A and B are shown apart, each in its own frame.
Chain A
Amino acid sequence: MPAVVANNIVKKYGKKKDVVEALHGISFEAEQGELFGIIGPDGAGKTSLFRILTTLLLPDGGSATVDGLDIVKDFKEIRNRVGYMPGRFSLYQDLTVAENMEFFATIFNTTIEENYDLVKDIYSQIEPFKDRRAGKLSGGMKQKLALSCALIHRPSVLFLDEPTTGVDSVSRKEFWEMLRNLKKQGITILVSTPYMDEASLCDRVALVQNGKLLSVNTPAGVRTAFGKPLLAVRATNMLALLNHLKQSGAIADAYPFGEYHHAVMRGSYDVEQLRHYLLQLGHEHVDIQAIEPDIEDCFMDLMKN
């Protein structure tokens, strides 16, 4: 039995006249013990989806189950079982680290000691500051505390809504490390993120854009599905380069990507021919490399189709 099943979920906001459809029929399944990523830019509908799955919102269409329980009918039972960490830091800022932990343990009818082994790795990092008020913690420590609180009752499914947004890159890396360890404990984890580079850290990802699911696949599968040759191109005048790449008949799509421009080629191509074309247009220091697409390339590609 899959841990989470979403079946054609629709969510609309607003009244009659200006209705915004946030989710247009999202369907996917996350297996037990899977680290499942929902990847998409801001406004894609990630938070709406998470709120529906955690029984905080009612869908306007479709159905879903978490742990085999219906999100509408069995919402009380689901609330006993899942762990939820909202995108915004939502613990009591005027309570200390230890007080927050104790409070959340108690409301889930458990104690810190009972499940200490589960949160030990994470909580031990902030335990030295346990008498500090939660509001005075750094961003990374707040995330660790929030995760500890969401885990304290040993949930069967853990929902993490953009846990790494606004966290520095070192803390982000640590955070994913922690998620990997939790996965080993058999907890199903659904995590949403706007950062494409985090997709490769998931077992499977769902790419979401404007409330629509673009693809559900393993990170490797998403990349394989790209199926077109990709080049990274660099020259002195990057702005002119982008325009010239877009005008070339051999290139299906070109877009800026860090220090390079990425160029998606049409079928067969010839690097030397492209280099010649660019040099002719007066570009200097032309550097062309064939590369493997990463998730962001795939996302751009899927978005255009």
Chain B
Amino acid sequence: MKQFLSFVKKEFYHIGRDRRTLFILLGMPIMQIIIFGFALTNEVKNSKIAILDNAQDVASAAISSELEASRYFDIVSELHSYKDIEAAFRKGTIKLAVVFPQQFNNDLQHFNTAQIQLVADASDPNVATTLTNYATAVIMDYQDRVTNGRKLPYTIKTEMRMLYNPQLKGAYSFVPGVMAMVLMLVCTMMTAITVVREKETGTMEIMLVSPVRPMKIVMAKAVPYLLLSMINIASILLLSVFVLDVPINGSLLLLIAESVLFILTSLALGLLISSSTDSQQTAMFISLTGLFLPTVMLSGFMFPIENMPLPLRIISNVVPSKWYYDIVKSVMIKGLGITAIWKETLILAGMTLFFLTLAIKKFKIRLA
């Protein structure tokens, strides 16, 4: 035990004396939350739109003003002909154009049906879809008010409710994503690098010719990073609650416990990488391409897994961060308890055990 503690102490010296790395490790999650929270957002706010109002009547004016009133849209120009639409899109001044036909109100009142055309710039398909949805919703609202009290034959009304995230905030999905990413990066890459560094500097050579069990060397490396990651989790959660208004709907304790489990998974992976490599560069390369990229791509945080082709969906199951991402979303956003996530938890625990056993088995007790 004394041996182990002295190892841990030594690791803390290493980390504490490398100020720059420490600063990056602690600052990275904060930077990422801020960048994702304020700069890289895919929410649609104040999008510039244009109106081509061929009707110029009560109904078209009412709809236009409602569009203007919504926080999603800014009407930047009134167009006068179809050609102007094309021109405005080319210039990039607008993302959406709303076209009212002649006799709009007339049609609506007398034939009980009228058309509005929405023209969107689909060079960014997600934005285009979102904008047309928002505009449709505003128009529907208006229709509801007009038809209020009147009986329409055969209408199906869809009523939408966005559960857990009624405002469709991006933060709800990227906070769990950033947590998975940061933990993966700090735990896996840093532990892999520190173990391999001992091989590179030759200290591992001395360590091997000593009574210390390899298990202890490896475990002691993990302890400081476990602590460091806890700090990171705390800073991410604090930032998301107080700065980004993302609530922790479920149990905080469960969230922390699950995070510790994921940290252990990442640490075990880092140790496994270090056991199989001999240079810091290789260790870093494997951690980045083998783990960091899949975390970003295949955890469902950037791209929905459901839309991926089958092979990728299968591969995504072996990415630990996918399970952690699901867990955090369930606990933090949906407010679910352990009964809802026991399967994911079990998978993570199983992975941890597997990686750790493999890491210790593969630990070289000799130089070659």
Residues on A lying within 8 angstroms of B by beta carbon are 51, 54-58, 75-76, 79-80, 82, 84, 86, 88-95, 99, 102-104, 106-109, 149-150
Contact = CB atoms under 8 A, between A and B. Distances in A.
Nearest to A111: B2
Given A56-B209, A86-B202, A86-B206, A106 B367 contact: no
Contacts of B17: 94
A79 B208 contact: yes
Given A107-B6, A108-B211, A84 B201 contact: no
Given A88-B202, A107-B6, A149-B206, 4 more contacts: A56-B367, A94-B14, A107-B207, A108-B210
A103 B368 contact: no
A151 to B, nearest CB: 13
B148 interface: no
A232 to B, nearest CB: 41
Interface residues of B, number: 25
28 contacts: A56-B209, A57-B367, A75-B365, A76-B211, A79-B208, A84-B205, A84-B206, A84-B209, A86-B202, A90-B206, A92-B13, A92-B14, A94-B13, A94-B17, A95-B10, A95-B13, A95-B14, A99-B13, A103-B9, A104-B206, A106-B2, A106-B3, A106-B6, A107-B3, A107-B6, A107-B211, A107-B212, A109-B3
Contacts of B126: none
Nearest to A56: B367
Nearest to A88: B202
Nearest to B210: A107
Contacts of A88: 202
Interface in B348-368: 365-368
Which 9 pairs across A and B sit closest by C-beta, in order of nearness?
A90-B202, A106-B6, A84-B209, A56-B367, A80-B211, A94-B17, A107-B212, A88-B202, A54-B209
Contacts of B211: 76, 79-80, 107-109
Contacts, number: 75
A132 to B, nearest CB: 13
B212 A90 contact: no
Contacts of A51: 367
Given A79-B209, A107-B7, A57 B2 contact: no
